[in-house]
Amino acid sequence: MTKSISISTGSDPGQSARVRTEFPSVSGSFSGARTGLFSARAYGAILTVAAVLALLPALNLILPEAHALYVPDYTVSLLGKFLCFALAALALDLVWGYAGILSLGHGLFFALGGYAHGMYLMRASTPTPQALPEFMVFLSWKEIPWFWSFTEYAPYAWLLALVAPGLLAFVFGYFAFRSRITGVYFSIITQALTFAAMLLFFRNETGFGGNNGFTGFKTILGFDITSAQTRAGLYWVSLMALLGCLLLARAITQSKLGRVLTAIRDAESRMRFLGYEPLGFKLFVWTVSAMMCGLAGALYVTQVGIINPSEMSPENSIEMVVWVATGGRGTLVGPIIGAGTVNALKTWFTSAFPEYWLYALGLLFVLVTVLLPQGIVGLARKLLQRKQERLA
């Protein structure tokens, strides 16, 4: 006899996951907004926005500065940064929105990806691949540490930017999830891990530049990293990475795996009763999320020209949570919107009232939690639904 149990999601009414106990497989359907996010109309909107964003660097390269549509170099770099932040927010939403794992340590994975790519950029900026980077010369190092081996090769550094955060996430997640650490306890541990890593990277003897980190990048793949053409290329790579990871995240969340994750989020003990061991599912999505965040960090460091331990500070990880909450948790597209909105606000606020930004950030998080519990996307859904009801 086949039994089925419906598990309603607490974050989005009208959405449910149906778990069948006949075989170790999960079948279900998602009604409402999540499937609608990637309807034909939504795909059209996403492609339109992507096309507009892709056009901006071309306006910088082709048009003269006096032209009304000219996009300044600063704007291209700033938007490239926003794309990296959006990718980090997407990575966090994958674990928080769909698996119920609130991480306050994704800043660590972001920074590890940045450091891995920064090692290559430092090696590429030396006269010869065997020469010591400038900070090692300043600190009187005699030779390149063993863990810097092969970082003069770009493909290895790119692979390291994915493997380093992924491996750390896998090891940490295995012990945490096996011990069934969940909720606020898991969040606190991830924040403690990030803070400990930040203190470690601040030390000069670790071989990562200490307080100053990595800076002074000159070339990437033989191209001048400060040229407008290179900046445009990095921008386009960041945009393609964001779109690719968005499609990957959608494939995960809309698959049977995604339905299991949602069911685990809402009733983990019941899933164990039905014969599903959550460890493997949670560990997989946790590791994938960390690797996506590492990719975001690797792209980020090339566009800002610096990476240091401050990227691991706890407030950076908390900001990522604010991005996701502002845009709409568990929607994939929402965190991207939230990252762009919050960082645009931050750019203006830190130039106009720099000493009050952290207070504004805290107030924003409180207001979103109280007034917009489903974020910007949730508000848009309600307005659209009311419009449809009036037309009906």
Q: What is the pTM of this model?
A: 0.88
Residue 137 tokens read as 């010369």
pLDDT in tens, 149-180: 999 999 999 999 999 999 999 999 999 999 99
CA distance 224 to 123: 14
pLDDT in tens, 180-198: 998 999 999 999 999 999 9
pLDDT score, position 82: 96
pLDDT score, position 219: 92
Instruction: Show me where the domains of the chain are located.
Output: 4-391
pLDDT score, position 23: 31
State how far the alpha carbon of 229 is from the alpha carbons of 71, 124, 235, in Å: 13, 18, 10
pLDDT score, position 381: 85
Percentage of the chain lying above the pLDDT 70 cut: 89
Q: Is the pLDDT reported for residue 83 higher than 50?
A: yes
Label the pairing between strands 219-220 and 223-224. Answer: antiparallel
Helix axes 154-178, 106-124, angle to 10 degrees: 160
Residue 264 · residue 282 · CB < 8 Å = yes
State how far the alpha carbon of 33 is from the alpha carbons of 334, 382, 392, in Å: 12, 10, 19
* DSSP per-residue string spanning 103-115: -S-HHHHHHHHHH
Residue 90 · residue 246 · CB < 8 Å = yes
Q: Enumerate residues 6+ apart whose C-beta is below 8 A from 117.
A: 157, 158, 161, 297, 298, 299, 301, 302
Residue 141 · residue 132 · CB < 8 Å = yes
Q: Is the pLDDT reported for residue 10 higher than 90?
A: no
Confidence at 38, pLDDT banded by 50, 70, 90: low
Residue 377 tokens read as 């996307």
More confident residue, 13 or 304: 304
Residue 333 · residue 383 · CB < 8 Å = no
Confidence at 355, pLDDT banded by 50, 70, 90: confident
* 74 three-state secondary structure: helix
CA distance 95 to 100: 6
Confidence at 387, pLDDT banded by 50, 70, 90: confident
What's the chain's Rg over C-alpha atoms?
22
pLDDT in tens, 229-260: 999 999 999 999 999 999 999 999 999 999 99
Residue 297 · residue 114 · CB < 8 Å = yes
Q: Is the pLDDT reported for residue 40 higher than 80?
A: no
pLDDT in tens, 272-304: 888 889 999 999 999 999 999 999 999 999 999
pLDDT in tens, 49-80: 899 999 999 999 999 989 999 999 999 999 99
Residue 345 tokens read as 């606000």
pLDDT in tens, 299-337: 999 999 999 999 999 889 999 999 999 999 999 999 999
Q: Is the pLDDT reported for residue 391 higher than 80?
A: yes
Residue 113 tokens read as 């990806």
Confidence at 354, pLDDT banded by 50, 70, 90: confident
Residue 242 · residue 83 · CB < 8 Å = yes
State how far the alpha carbon of 270 is from the alpha carbons of 7, 102, 286, in Å: 9, 20, 21
User: Which amino acid is it at 283?
Assistant: L
